[in-house]
Amino acid sequence: MVTIHWFRRDLRLSDNPALFAAANKGLVIPIYILDDVNSGIYKMGAASRCWLYQSLIALNSSLNGQLLVFSGDPKVILSELIEKHNVAAVNWNRCYEPWRIARDTQIKQDLLNKGIMVNTFNGSLLWEPWEVLKSDKTPYRVFTPFYHNGCLKATEPRVPLDKPNQIQFFLNDQQTNQSDIEKLGLLPQKNWSSEIIANWSIGELAAQQQLVDFMAEGISNYKEGRDFPAKNAVSRLSTYLHFGELSPNQVWYASYAQFAENNFEAFRRQMAWREFSYSLLYYNPDIPQINLQRKFDNFPWVNDSKLLIQWQKGQTGIPIVDAGMRELWQTGYMHNRVRMIVASFLVKNLLIDWREGERWFWDCLIDADLANNSASWQWVAGTGADAAPYYRIFNPVTQGQKFDSDGIYMRRYVPELALLPNKYLFNPWEAPKEILAAANISLGVNYPYPLVDLKSSRARALELFKSLGTL
């Protein structure tokens, strides 16, 4: 029996239910299809493509060069492969983005109509969205009950699978090399990819090592340390989970083994937030575009492209915001605490629509995940199902002083302020002229004045919020 295993968001051999089942049935044709045909506006962003390029190289190596790569419409490509090689079945692990659900539903029906077996599995979530519901069988809209009443009372996630003992490849005489992957055109013209790749180890083996390292060194200080961007206390597993180089089940059971008490609980909540985001996306497929709280549909967002560009470039004049935006551009990543700070500044101080931020993150983040990205932006904006109240506006000065008090993170990404004393590091516009001069800073010349006054812009946002009658 010949089975196609269609790799999607599961770029790994271990704990891969669809691949495991295919290998146990007989001969396997492993494939990856870059689908820019059906994705529409959710075509993979540039940073994610850089990561995908390296991940496919790593996956192909682990498959002894047997990974077939294609670009185009999966419906057409699968049909051609099935006819050419007399394929009996197609296996895949399920995806949950609305456009993928629509595509996969059609492909599955077409294949079944042709007498081809289709086997789908859960390889991306701890629980399917329909497995964690309220007692009345409706989806949760608030995270805390989703976690306590849903996740913690649900059936335990399945135990991770080993790698298949042996994969018998149908096309053993064909070899895919790096040049075949290069033909997918994943790398951007800008020499950005090398900067991103230099900051990360990519692929399944790297993912497993990162998990081991975090469990050995990071989780013991996770609860408190995860808010400090200069500390090595976050897992940095999000991208590996996004591409499926690591499964959430592997992470869940690895964390169980640590018995890290409060730190374990805090980490487990973050895993559950990922599940919650997917539940929101599954039951609200327009969440990347539409306010979940529709009362915000009439909010008078400011359409100012100049302000948006300054934010994107990390030239806002607010040091911790600029540090975060530069980290994003240089590495394809941003610390989660800083993500909240820069998002709050864009939406609530600049009054720019959260969807502009979501789109920028989509293009620049290596872990750009449709569920997490849209749910998190709506959370910060106050427009989501379980959102921070709109009147919760992060003060970027006090946030920087609290979570980067020594300025290690800030100085790394905003080196022009490196000589400022810590007292004025996050508010240089308040520094006396002689202090600025001693630090070689000329505001408006080598570092910008703030785009807005933080106090007055906060007051303006609250007034607009009140005008909607939502306070």
Domain boundary among 237, 258, 283: 283
Residue 454 is predicted with a pLDDT of 96
Are residues 117 and 17 both part of a single domain? Answer: yes
Residue 312 is predicted with a pLDDT of 98
Residue 271 is predicted with a pLDDT of 93
Residue numbers in the chain where pLDDT is lower than 50: 470-471
Domain boundary among 259, 283, 307: 283
Domain boundary among 122, 148, 183: 122
Residue 392 is predicted with a pLDDT of 79
DSSP letter for each residue of 369-415: -HHHHHHHHHHHHT-STT---TT----HHHHHHHHSTT-HHHHHH-G
Are residues 6 and 108 both part of a single domain? Answer: yes
Residue 178 is predicted with a pLDDT of 83
Q: Give first-to-last CA distance, the chain, whole Å.
A: 63
Residue 18 is predicted with a pLDDT of 98
What's the pTM? 0.94
One-letter amino acid identity for 460? R
Residue 318 is predicted with a pLDDT of 98
> What is the domain-level CATH number for residue 210?
1.25.40.80
Give me the domain span that covers residue 116: 2-122
d(CA 245, CA 62): 12
Distance of CA 470 to the CA centre of its chain: 30
Residue 471 is predicted with a pLDDT of 45
Kindly state whether residue 184 falls inside one of the protein's structural domains.
no
Are residues 277 and 145 both part of a single domain? Answer: yes
Number of independent structural domains in the chain: 3
Helices 248-256 and 261-283: crossing angle in degrees, nearest 10, is 160
Q: What is the pLDDT of residues 50-67, one digit of tens each?
A: 999 999 999 999 999 999
